[in-house]
């Protein structure tokens, strides 16, 4: 049987700035086709999400973070009509989910996913906004590396086989919050909390700064939907695609798994699906 050719789309434009890194790591992870597509190309119907298996929403400052991080971008996805059609960009995302596609949102892309309602996506409802990402408790932009623990019981396709990761963060609005306690209870009960910031000495999820760089509740750094096929996280796995990216690569033997592993897991899943 011929092996499935994996096609990846990485969105760009309107303030994103991590699309090249993200496309590079997808190629390194083994994707057959990786296209960087400006959002206007989707709006004008020149490209369609239905032609791809994996949608990557990269980091940056979508629309300058006016109205809050990714808020204006969420309005574009929700209300912009594809030229000459009644279809919205959000409808194309729903179609991608329905046919079994994968979505990863990194940093600004994670903000976009929660503000669209695609995460946490309880009961397959991808329209309800139940969580958000807001200003860091420090009141400033944070640019550092953080240690993460990965939930082994999570259904997340992207983190299969991973236990801990060391990844860079760079954001001013990364504090994960939820609508109410019931949302948090469901995230915990359904193992949709994928990764948490941990204290490097104890290895436990932490609220202590700077190990938790933004004050996220329960130290949450990333969540997925119930299927595990939609994943959003604040740290940047695409920025750790080679051992020389690691801040201590000259001083010690690096054992931390590359962020590339997250994308390899996704691509392997698509090939086997």
For residue range 11-25, list pLDDT tens digits in order: 999 999 999 999 999
Is residue 26 within 8 A of residue 263, CB to CB? The reply is yes
Is residue 221 within 8 A of residue 146, CB to CB? The reply is yes
CB atoms within 10 A of CB 270: 22
pLDDT for residue 69: 86
Q: Is the pLDDT of residue 2 over 80?
A: no
Local confidence band at 1 (pLDDT 50, 70, 90 cut-offs) = very low
Q: What percent of the chain has pLDDT over 70?
A: 99
Quick one: tokens of 269?
A: 């899943």
**Rounded Cα distance, 172 and 236, in Å:** 14
**Rounded Cα distance, 171 and 42, in Å:** 27
**Rounded Cα distance, 147 and 8, in Å:** 28
Mean confidence (pLDDT) of the chain: 95
- Phi, psi angle pair for 68, to nearest 5°: 110, 155
Give the H or E element holding residue 20. Answer: helix 19-28
**Rounded Cα distance, 262 and 27, in Å:** 13
**Rounded Cα distance, 27 and 6, in Å:** 10
- Phi, psi angle pair for 146, to nearest 5°: -130, 155
Q: What percent of the chain has pLDDT over 90?
A: 90
pLDDT for residue 167: 98
The predicted model gives 194-199 an average pLDDT of: 98
Reported CATH class of domain 7-272: alpha beta
Local confidence band at 255 (pLDDT 50, 70, 90 cut-offs) = confident
Local confidence band at 8 (pLDDT 50, 70, 90 cut-offs) = very high
Q: Which residues are catalytic?
A: 107, 236, 238
pLDDT for residue 179: 96
Quick one: tokens of 136?
A: 């860091």
Local confidence band at 66 (pLDDT 50, 70, 90 cut-offs) = confident
Taking the model in full, what pTM does it have?
0.96
Is residue 197 within 8 A of residue 216, CB to CB? The reply is yes
């Amino acid at each position: 049987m011929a092996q499935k050719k994996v096609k990846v789309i990485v969105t760009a434009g309107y303030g994103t700035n991590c699309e090249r890194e993200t496309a590079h790591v997808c190629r390194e992870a083994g994707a057959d086709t990786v296209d960087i597509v400006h959002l206007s190309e989707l709006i004008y119907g020149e490209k369609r999400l239905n032609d791809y298996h994996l949608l990557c929403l990269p980091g940056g400052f979508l629309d300058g973070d006016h109205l809050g991080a990714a808020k204006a971008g969420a309005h574009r996805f929700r209300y912009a009509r594809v030229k000459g059609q009644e279809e919205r960009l959000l409808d194309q995302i729903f179609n991608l989910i329905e046919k079994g596609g994968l979505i990863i949102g990194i940093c600004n892309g994670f903000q976009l996913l929660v503000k669209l309602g695609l995460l946490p996506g309880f009961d397959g409802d991808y329209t309800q906004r139940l969580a958000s990402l807001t200003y860091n408790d420090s009141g400033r932009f944070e640019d550092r590396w953080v240690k993460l623990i990965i939930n082994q019981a999570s259904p997340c396709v992207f983190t299969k086989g991973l236990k801990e990761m060391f990844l860079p963060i760079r954001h001013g609005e990364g504090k994960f919050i939820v609508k109410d306690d019931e949302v948090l209870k469901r995230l915990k009960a359904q193992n949709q909390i994928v990764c948490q910031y941990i204290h490097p000495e104890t290895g436990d999820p932490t609220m202590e700064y700077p190990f938790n760089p933004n004050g996220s509740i329960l130290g949450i750094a990333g969540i997925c939907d119930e299927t595990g096929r939609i994943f959003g996280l604040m740290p940047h796995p695409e920025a750790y695609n080679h051992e020389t990216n690691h801040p201590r690569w000259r001083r010690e033997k690096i054992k931390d798994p590359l962020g590339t592993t997250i994308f390899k897991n996704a691509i392997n899943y698509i090939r086997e699906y």
